[in-house]
Amino acid sequence: MVQLRKVHGSENHFFLLDQTTLDQQLNDDELSALAQQVTNPDTGILDGADGVLVVNSSNHANVLGQMRVINADGSEASMCGNGLRTVSRYLAEKNHTNQFKVETLTADLQVSRQNDLAASVPAFSVEISPVRFKPADFPFTNLGDGALIDQPVPALAPGLNFTAIAVPNPHLISFVDEETMNGPLLGELGARLNGANDYFPDGVNVSFAQILGKNQLFVRTYERGVGFTNACGTGMSATSLAFAMVHPNVGQFDHTISVYNPGGMVKTKVHQSDDRYWIDLIGNATETHLIDVNEEELHNANVTTETASIQETSEEAAYLKFVDQLPKVSAIAVKK
């Protein structure tokens, strides 16, 4: 038997698989098939999820493990902010330490345990970097030769300005009013740019943000490889950076920014030193279920209510209590 975990950061849900506990690691095709099966609410368990977080060992100095991120559609992402918090918690508890680095596809990132957000709501801070702006880093085409920072792009949506930031997974951001936030445009644009299109050949995570006040945002994201999500950690981090760059009168570098999302709230802090930008993302790392399953069922992408034994923790009740006392800043409901 091996144990999967169902985890979330701001209700951005994942299954976490520690490959170091397996007799034989899953190969890339098996990981992709498992992600597509187990995250699908119709074929998987526990109403599905947005992806699978894979923990591997790392041979880098001062690093406790490696995280890989497999989206619900089986594609691999270079980074996942909400996922990194839950992987950090898992590695912290496994290794009895609260400050360390985690290897990701492009960088070893600093993580640390923070004070609980509320009773039984553990929290972690994770570094979001490297930050990139060049079209080749996304990639994007047909949107000019240089970086896209607060520019009108009528071909995408007349009347809106867009900023493109890779952290290093790709994000396209627009600051919008409440009516646009609640309307159909985000879903339409997200679906369009994540199908065959002339601008983002590898797809892109699309976020709309509403400025709520000084250092306060509401962010909603249509994720590449997923669709609408309750929260996207890298999306909220990239949007916080865009906030400080594009709206410096209300979004400040080196100050805590509260970022509300349909699944709750995180804090971010954006930093710049010379040409380098990075973001601290701080939020919950919640474990909702422990799932025992035979290793063979993972290799066969067959994790179902028949093959797995599922035990619920009490952490979701604590998380919902925490969310309940947050200010109600949006009418957008949490996705189940």
Ligand X SMILES: N[C@@H](CCC[C@H](N)C(=O)O)C(=O)O
Instruction: Give the binding site for ligand X (CB under 6 A).
Output: 12, 50, 69, 71, 77, 80-83, 169, 205, 223-226, 229, 232-234
Q: Which DSSP category does 132 fall into?
A: B
269 is catalytic: no
Residue 71 marked in a binding site:
yes
Residue 215 marked in a binding site:
no
Q: Which among 312, 260, 320, 265 is positioned nearest to 47, based on CA atoms?
A: 312
Closest approach, Cβ 170 to ligand X, in A, equals 7
Residue 205 marked in a binding site:
yes
Residues whose CB falls within 8 Å of the CB of residue 285, separated by 6 or more in sequence, listed in order: 7, 9, 85, 86, 88, 89, 122, 123, 124
Q: How far apart are CA 291 and CA 312, in angstroms?
A: 9
Closest approach, Cβ 122 to ligand X, in A, equals 17
Closest approach, Cβ 236 to ligand X, in A, equals 8
* Residue nearer to ligand X on the CB measure, 159 or 201: 201
Whole-angstrom Cα Rg for the chain: 19
Residue 12 marked in a binding site:
yes
Cβ atoms of residues 237 and 128 within 8 Å: yes
Residue 81 marked in a binding site:
yes
- Catalytic position from the list 4, 80, 242, 245: 80
Residue 59 marked in a binding site:
no
Q: List, as one string, the DSSP characters of 236-268.
A: HHHHHHHHHHH-TTTS-TTS-EEEEETTEEEEE
* Residue nearer to ligand X on the CB measure, 96 or 336: 336
What is residue 37's three-state secondary structure?
A: helix
Closest approach, Cβ 79 to ligand X, in A, equals 6
Query: Phi then psi for 75, rounded to 5 degrees?
Result: -75, 160
Roughly what angle, to the nearest 10 degrees, separates helices 81-95 and 233-246?
120
Sign of CA dihedral 297, 105, 231, 158: negative
- Catalytic position from the list 33, 209, 232, 291: 232
Q: To which residue do tokens 């400040």 refer?
A: 252
Closest approach, Cβ 202 to ligand X, in A, equals 9
Closest approach, Cβ 167 to ligand X, in A, equals 8
Residue 313 marked in a binding site:
no
Cβ atoms of residues 299 and 30 within 8 Å: yes
Which tokens go with 223? Answer: 């994720």
107 is catalytic: no
* Residue nearer to ligand X on the CB measure, 83 or 135: 83
Q: To which residue do tokens 């699944």 refer?
A: 263
Binding residues: 12, 71, 81-82, 169, 205, 223-224, 233-234
**Residues designated catalytic:** 80, 232
Binding residues for substrate: 12, 71, 81-82, 169, 205, 223-224, 233-234
